[in-house]
């Protein structure tokens, strides 16, 4: 399964999301991130991708969750989810991403992957999680999910 990452910069009860401009999930709000390249640790991928996508420099991102992402019977991604409270630089729009801050209470779940509303509240409250989210073969609707919390990484 393709390993990938997501990063959620957090400050003052707000989270930095991107509107993804191309690739899997185009048009949706997600965290910055992307596929892990050969020889990289997930943490190194997060630092590289956040820099590339919105020109923000993340320090010491913490892994808070992981999930399998399945389309039909085809495993699509294994995603490591990070939370970052230390970062610098003003978020910039790039060809890949349009960044925007949201209050925890105002996250645009209707414009996000359907599973995100299940685990993002845990990300905000600092509870670790592990999940498996199965979508239809087009990746449009979630058909099954499993989620456990309080996982050690």
**Residues engaged in binding ligand 8DG (CB under 6 A):** 4-6, 23-25, 30, 33-35, 69, 77, 79, 113, 115-116, 133
Closest to ligand 8DG by CB, 25 vs 108, is: 25
Residue 84's nearest CA partner among 14, 2, 37 is: 14
Q: Which residues contact 98 (CB under 8 A, 6 or more apart)?
A: 18, 19, 21
* Closer by beta carbon to ligand 8DG, 4 or else 84: 4
C-beta closer to ligand 8DG: residue 35 or 55: 35
Smaller CB distance to ligand 8DG: residue 66 or 115?
A: 115
For 99, the token pair is: 């960044």
Q: Give yes or no for a contact between 117 and 123, defined as CB atoms under 8 angstroms apart.
A: no
Tell which phi-psi region holds residue 79, choosing left (phi > 0), alpha (psi between -120 and 50) or beta: beta
Residue (of 2, 1, 148, 122) closest to 64 by Cα position: 122
> Considering the complex, what minimum distance in angstroms separates the CB of residue 63 from ligand 8DG?
14
To ligand 8DG, the closest distance from the beta carbon of 133 in angstroms equals: 6
Comparing every residue's Cβ against ligand 8DG, the nearest one is 23
Q: Tell me 36's DSSP state.
A: P
Residue 9 · residue 48 · CB < 8 Å: no
Cβ-based nearer residue to ligand 8DG, 33 or 61: 33
Q: In the complex, what is the shortest distance from the CB of residue 59 to ligand 8DG, in angstroms, rounded to a whole number?
A: 20
**DSSP string of 62-73?**
EEEEEEEEEETT
Nearest distance, CB of residue 4 and ligand 8DG, angstroms: 4
Closest CB 69 distance from ligand 8DG, rounded Å = 4
């Amino acid at each position: 399964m393709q390993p990938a990452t997501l990063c959620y910069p957090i400050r003052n009860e707000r989270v930095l999301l991107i509107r993804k401009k191309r690739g899997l999930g185009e048009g949706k709000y997600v965290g910055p991130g992307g596929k892990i390249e050969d020889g990289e640790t997930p943490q190194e991928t997060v630092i590289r991708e956040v820099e590339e996508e919105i020109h923000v420099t993340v320090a010491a991102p913490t892994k808070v969750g992981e999930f399998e992402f399945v389309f039909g019977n085809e495993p699509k991604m294994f995603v490591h989810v990070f939370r970052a409270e230390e970062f610098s630089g003003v978020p910039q729009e790039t060809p890949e991403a349009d960044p925007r801050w949201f209050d925890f209470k105002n996250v645009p779940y209707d414009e996000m992957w359907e599973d995100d509303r299940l685990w993002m509240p845990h990300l905000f409250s600092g509870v670790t999680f592990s999940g498996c989210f199965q979508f239809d073969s087009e990746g449009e609707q979630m058909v099954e999910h499993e989620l456990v919390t309080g996982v050690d990484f």
